[in-house]
Amino acid sequence: MNDSLYHQMTDDLLIDIEEMLDQCEVDIDYESASSILTMIFLNGSKIIINKQPPLHQLWVATKFNGHHFNFQDDLWIDERTGVEFWSFLDDAVSKQAEQDVKLKK
């Protein structure tokens, strides 16, 4: 993947998440700046998603730990667990929101 494609894909993904949060029935605030998206939960915890251009990765920090995602076979996959990004994100957001959340329909 070249740099241009990487930036387009990750920018689109961050915008998709923002739009999903706007539609979400669970109250989750977010801030977006400089390729970093921070989700802020009512309990004060946060999930931070940011781009890592030199590695062509997407990094996610949750209250529990950090994850690095690589794009392979048309999916963002956690390099440590092998879990697909959207599945991981729904699970992480649900844990931190302390209720079931499905962002990706």
Domain that holds residue 26: 3-97
Question: Is 75 part of any domain?
Answer: yes
Helix or strand or coil: residue 49? strand
- Look at residue 45 and tell me if it is in a domain: yes
Read off the pLDDT of residues 2-48 as tens digits, 9 standing for 90 and up: 999 999 999 999 999 999 999 988 999 999 998 999 999 999 999 99
27 falls within a domain: yes
The pTM of the full predicted model, rounded to 2 decimals, is: 0.91
User: Could you tell me if residue 105 is inside a domain?
Assistant: no
Domain total of the chain: 1
Compute CA distances 68 → 24, 27, 60, 95, whole Å. Answer: 25, 26, 7, 19
Question: Per the domain annotation, does 93 fall within a domain?
Answer: yes
CATH number at residue 34: 3.30.920.10
DSSP3 helix / strand / coil % (the chain, rounded to 5): 35, 30, 30
- 102 found inside a domain: no
Residue 31 belongs to some domain of the structure? yes
